Structure 1
Amino acid sequence: MENRSTGIPGFDEILGGGLTAPSTTLIAGNPGSGRTILGIQSLCEAVKNGEKALYICITTKSENGVREGLSNYSFYEEGLDIRVFNISSVERDPLTMLVELGNVVASLKPDRILVDSVTPIGFGFPEAERRRFIYSLSSAIGEWNAIVYLTGTMAEADVWRSVISDVVEGIVYLSQNIQRRGSRRSIKIMKMNNSDYMEGEHTFDISSEGIAIYPRINALNLDHTSELKRIDAGITKFNELSRGGLFELSSTLIAGNTGTGKTSFGLHFIVYGAMNGEPGIISSFEDNPTELRRYAASIGLELEELEQKNLIRIIYTPPSDINSCKHTVELRKNIEEIGAKRVLLDDISGFDYVFEEPVAKREHIANLLRFFKNMGLTSMLISGNRAAGNNVLVAEIPVSSLADVLILLKHAEIDKEIRKTMSILKMHGSDHEKHLIGYDITSEGIQIGEFLKDI
């Protein structure tokens, strides 16, 4: 027995390294969830690597009709063996189908087999007879010595009630939730014959290139025992206010009302790092790259020049297109490619489009922050502040307790003048300035001014 790759991006990762050969896996899900594409794509990738693969299609179409449909996908391989069984015959006489199938397998000796779908087999039979047939099919599969996929149209609750779940080593469940902004597709491992698979729900996309799976964050709580150094946030006088600067690997949340310059703080943090040997990633859910470059230039920051030197990468994702797992995979890819040491998320309220429950959003951001630390990054998050009134102590951001540093930006009326004010509400592991601090944003960047009053 050995582990073999499925050939599908992200699938091996959530399976814990691929599939055991031989083994049988049920790919279950609701209609339109992508079960057939997942199975056929894996078969075609195996063909590209020199394996023999057999697709058993239970349908009303001809083999030419099936191949014509598959040719729309870039992964399709002409070398895939296809055998078509008429769905009406299979419903009435599954045993004949089983005998014919056994003869085909014996003749071809394939390394991988997909039976799509087992749901209509013996559909008109009493349940007891269907169970006996599934056991017969299982015995036959045991003699094939191959990686076998079985697809089934089932609701999640029905999977465990099906006899098929008793005779397979693995169960993969795909679902499709049609929402106002499009479909959200998810995949999870319900059962697998190894203990290394990733639990929980992962997301995936389907395109003309096939399926791409985006594993959810699985951030371990690593212990960074070495003494962490201080780093410069790139803002004049901030080191003095923070008693030495931000800690390496720390997470800073900049919260504030509209127009307080939250993004300016983030741009200073990223640009200064890139200028001093710490490449950075900007993940923006609001401003596109052109807008960010123009904004940076207006405050004296040469963002575009650093991009051209591959010291800064901008990942722009419109809120309507945010897929939390895909976003994390894209972050990791870009972090590794440029060796990033700093990352900016602007604005984390974009995750509100993804998570209906605040608890789910909080969990995702907590995992993101741990993920950044594990990858050796110092992070900065931008968030709006929904708290009303002029109380500078109030910051109504559900994830504020997750960050190591919390900086609150507000407008305040002082001597009949609207002033921008900053207060450092917390800084783990360090003393910090306790006064309310005034600041301005000019063509030369953020200019921190005088203390305004005690808080």
Structure 2
Amino acid sequence: MVAPTTSKKARTGVPGLDDILSGGLSEGRVFLLEGNPGTGKTTIALRFLLEGAAGGEKGLYVTLSETEDELREGALSHGLIIDENIDVYELVPPESLLDADQQQSLLYSSDLELGETTKAIFETFERLQPKRVVLDSLSEIRLLAQGSLRYRRQILALKHYFAKRNATVLLLDDLTSDVLDKTVHSVVHGVIKLEELAPNYGSERRRLRIVKYRGQAFRGGYHDFIIQTGGVVAFPRLVALEHRKQFTRDRLSSGIGEFDDLLGGGLERGSSCLVLGPAGTGKTTFGLQFVVSAIRRGEKAAIFVFDEELGLLFDRTRAIGIDLEKMRDEGNLHIEQVDAAELSPGEFAHRVRERVDSANLRTVIIDSLNGYQASMPEENALVLHMHELLQYLNRQGTTTILTVAQHGLVGDMKAPVDVTYLADTVVLLRYFEARGKVRRAVSVIKKRTGNHEDTIREFRITKNGLSLGQPLDEFQGVLRGVPTFVGKAEPLLALGVVDENS
């Protein structure tokens, strides 16, 4: 978490946003909240006022673009009730300005409207004496000013007026009149920018960024957020360096002796393992060995599933002797179906972190990165997100198993994104053909935390679970999919790791 300064802060009431702002908004200052229509400005502003009201502070919502009924109805849709500590002032043009017969010919009507608007705002403030103020929106004031100079002078007047009265003010701007006008940016104490992205498929994605905050450290970059019943929830960008936990880096067994031998004794606690291979080779099954082993040791684990329906996963793993449903019901396993089309990367990282922290999870499977990538607009962003998430989990002493499905089935295959350099251990699975049968092979091609076997072993998945054989030292070209026998024994004997009748 970013270290807060000593100045007193007005909390926004938006989960996650105060962390991004290093405590909240500096009291007695004017802030700008900008974003296109629909990005959540009004919802955040209401939460800001309600947070103050909960602490006994009077709030004032000045609306120039929305009626009071519309505002209250919108708040109610989020389960927010505007109570007696918050006054809503609906600022409408004076009737004389709407009457054509009363229009002034010697003065521009905009001059009168701007003056009337400012006067009405100040009079309402003097009457109510609020501690928190929301002005919605600046687009109307910008249109009335009809020029950058008059607009800047007007904003300066508002700033100095509220500053002298020690009010914390949130100015909303929907960016509909002039998106290139940055006049307010230079005047206000801080700027929060909201954005909405529309992917080719799936729900909209929202993110925010602190553009400016005078004299205050804050969490930079983009942060995902959602609008849900109850208001806005922000997900601060994960920074792994801020989190470290003391733990013993012992070696963890998979429960299968041959697999442990291949791994040089097992996986180290607080490390990451990438299981790489084409579809159907058993990547999830290999990862589940460490989940089963962890639960047997009395630890808790979690599986985040992107690609497979949970019912099918339960049935499939039960057929090989792994009852995930029972583990979940007993409270030892958290298993969650993740919809990449509906979930932003920031929200997913927040979910993983929340589960790890609250339940002290020691083993986590993310199955698969292909599904995780679907939630990312750019490949480079996936690598950066994954780096921070893996580093965080490693620093918490959590062992992480990732799966990636490669394109193709045999021969030269490629992964949709290369994250092999991020993982501490890389396990490679392959199909290969021998004597008219499709077989599977496993090898460890990287282990950052120690030595490992450099051999290739055949494996099979039966009703009794995962079984590995001896190293295939009499074959060459297994990883290419079509091996050549170079030994002296019969090929079927060398390949017969498991009895065909088992």
Range with bigger deviation, 348-357 or 277-286: 348-357
Give the aligned partner of residue 163 of structure 2.
Answer: 142
TM-score by length of 1: 0.92
1:346 maps to 2:328: no
Unaligned regions of 5+ residues in structure 2, if any? 1-6, 98-108, 477-502
Give the corresponding residue for 1:356.
377
Deviations 1:15-62 (A, max 9, x none): 11212212211001112211122111221232233221110101263x
Residue 289 of structure 1, CA deviation: 3.0
Q: 1:432 deviation in Å?
A: 1.1
Q: Which residue of 2 aligns with 1:78?
A: 83
Quote the residue 1:4 is aligned against.
Answer: 10
Does residue 437 (structure 1) correspond to residue 466 (structure 2)? The answer is no
Other-structure match for 1:307: 328
Paired AA for residue 463 in structure 2: S
Letter in 1 for 2:71: V
SS in 1 for 2:121: helix
- Provide the alpha-carbon RMSD of the alignment: 2.5
Q: Distance in 2 between matches of 1:155 and 1:175?
A: 14
2:223 matched to 1:202? yes
What aligned pairs does 1:15-414 form with structure 2 within 5 A after superposition?
15-59=21-65, 61=67, 63-79=68-84, 80-86=86-92, 92=111, 93-124=113-144, 125-154=146-175, 158=179, 161-180=181-200, 181-220=202-241, 228-386=249-407, 389-390=410-411, 397-414=417-434
Q: Distance in 2 between matches of 1:53 and 1:108?
A: 9
- 1:450 CA drift (Å): 2.0
* Matched letter for residue 54 of structure 1: L
Aligned residue-pair number: 452
Residues 65 and 225 (structure 1), Cα distance of their counterparts in 2 relative to 1, 3 Å cut: closer
> Are the counterparts in 1 of residues 37 and 174 from structure 2 also a CA contact under 8 Å?
yes
Q: Supply the distance in 2 between the matched residues of 1:225 and 1:280 (Cα, whole angstroms).
A: 19
Say if 1:53 and 1:113, in contact at 8 Å, map to a contact too. Answer: yes
The residue identity in structure 1 corresponding to 2:314 is R
Q: CA deviation at 1:81?
A: 0.6
Distance 2:177 2:290 in 1: 46
Specify whether residues 244 and 157 from structure 1 end up closer, same or farther in structure 2 by C-alpha distance, changes over 3 A only: farther
CA distance in 2, matches of 1:91, 1:81: 27
Larger strand share, 1 or 2 = 1
Counterparts in 2 of 1:396 and 1:285: CA distance versus 1, 3 Å: closer
Residues 55 and 296 (structure 1 numbering): CA distance in 2 closer, same or farther, change over 3 Å?
same
Structure 2: how far apart are the matches of 1:301 and 1:127?
Answer: 68
Deviates more, 1:226-235 or 1:409-418: 226-235
The structure-2 alpha-carbon separation of the partners of 1:240 and 1:103, relative to structure 1 and needing over 3 Å to count, comes to: same
- CA change 1:362–1:152 in 2 (3 A) is same
Assess if the C-alpha contact under 8 Å between 1:156 and 1:173 holds in 2. no
* 1:382-402 alpha-carbon deviations (Å, 9 max, x no partner): 11122664369x777511111
Residue ranges of structure 1 left out of the alignment (5+ in a row): none
Q: Kindly state the Cα deviation for residue 87 of structure 1 after the two structures are TM-superposed.
A: 6.0
Query: AA paired with 2:451?
Result: D
